[in-house]
Amino acid sequence: MDATAIVTNCPEENDLRAMCIWMKRNRPLQEQAEYWKEVRGRMNNVGPILRFIFGKQAYDDRIKACQQAVDGSTASELEHNLGIGCCYSSNDSDLSRKLVRVVRVRRGNSIESPLNVLISPHLERETLSKFESEMKQSDFIFFVLRFWDYVPPYLIEKHAVSAFMNEDFLRAIRLKIKELRPPGRREPHSCALKEHSDTSFTRKEVLPPPERLSNPVAMDHWVLYEPKVKNFPLVDGFFFVDSNPKTLVGLRMATAGGHHTTTSTVRQFTECLASYFNGWEELSQELSWEIIYVQHADSTPMNDWQGCDVDNSDNVSRAENREIAAFWKEEVRQYIAAVSSGEFRMHEAL
């Protein structure tokens, strides 16, 4: 007689907390809290698998085996055996049993499909670190796009600018762009990225810190510029559009629900641009500004126009503060694009 496969949901965090409270119901509250903290830490490392998170020895054996599975495999082996980001059952291998869980995702018409993702935050970091170190960047970005909704925020911030070089990602962004307008501005304005929907980026240029640039370069249109500078001001990347007037489009990866800026930050940004590009003072005179905030579809939504606060920086005079704040409110167009992995590349996983 054939056995019947039974699939159950992994327990949620609230379920596990209730179990811990029940197991320690006759113990002091402090002991209950410490036990829950310990179990929660184990769940973060090996996943919400009951037989491995309540007992210390079972947990120690499991985390050791999982770590050995990651360390002892190449990125190619992990990709083949785990099927991360795919909508089919992963290979019934030792690797997949240790590192993969299946979640249900909804697509158009409320159709549910399975999606393979990594089983815990700790093993996710370890596994994705291996992929990132062994894959070409373009291959890694293509891989990450398959499960965009489940990618850790630090990876989104690190690689999302480069994802704009992917045609499917770019197409999804263009379809999802919505304008954020400040109070009092009634007339709509179409985003340059959406207006030029038949144009793609020609290449990506990585910009070093301004102080390491020997000479300014010529500004090119439809080149994706990504500053490799810690705490680069205002945006994560930008490009120029040969429109009338010419347009500077900044890209900001928005993992939170708000990204207000300050006048000194805007000033720092323009100083960086002046260091990077030949003839910036003349180029900037008739330049229109746009900023696109890119979010997960499930992130805290950004619905409001993002303001520019006047701060008391020593590098910006009071008059310039007022000028920058007025420019931001009157001239800078803002847009939000919230996308999910169901809107690009998912057809390749089916």
| Structure confidence at residue 201 (pLDDT) | 95
| Structure confidence at residue 137 (pLDDT) | 83
Helix/strand number for the chain, H first, E second: 14, 11
- For 249, list phi and psi in degrees, rounded to 5: -115, 115
Q: What is the model's pTM? A: 0.78
How far apart, in whole angstroms, are the C-alpha atoms of residue 232 and residue 158? Answer: 13
C-alpha torsion angle, residues 311, 308, 223, 292 (rounded to 10): 150
Coil, strand or helix: which one is 231?
coil
| Structure confidence at residue 7 (pLDDT) | 61
Burial letters 81-112, b for 16+ CB under 10 A, else e: bbbbbbbeebeebebbebbbbbeebeeeeeee
- The letter for the amino acid at 17 is R
Where in the chain are the domains? 13-135, 167-343
- Alpha carbon distances (Å) from 26 to 14, 37, 50, 55, 170: 20, 17, 21, 19, 57
| Structure confidence at residue 110 (pLDDT) | 65
User: Counting beta carbons within 10 angstroms of the beta carbon of residue 4, is it exposed (0 to 12), middle (13 to 18) or buried (19 or more)?
Assistant: exposed
Contact 286, 303 (CB under 8 A): no
Would you give per-residue pLDDT tens digits along the chain (350 residues)? Answer: 566 666 667 888 999 999 999 999 999 999 999 999 999 999 999 999 999 999 999 999 999 999 999 999 999 999 989 988 877 665 668 899 999 998 887 665 567 778 889 999 999 999 999 999 999 888 888 888 888 778 887 787 788 888 899 888 898 889 889 999 888 776 888 999 999 989 999 999 999 998 888 889 999 999 999 998 888 999 999 999 999 889 999 999 876 655 789 999 999 999 999 999 999 999 998 899 999 998 876 667 788 889 999 887 666 788 888 999 999 998 999 999 987 766 654 433 32
| Structure confidence at residue 234 (pLDDT) | 94
| Structure confidence at residue 302 (pLDDT) | 82
| Structure confidence at residue 348 (pLDDT) | 39
How far apart, in whole angstroms, are the C-alpha atoms of residue 116 and residue 21? Answer: 31
Which H or E element spans position 101? strand 100-106
| Structure confidence at residue 277 (pLDDT) | 96
- Alpha carbon distances (Å) from 214 to 116, 140, 207, 239: 47, 31, 12, 21
Coil, strand or helix: which one is 88?
coil
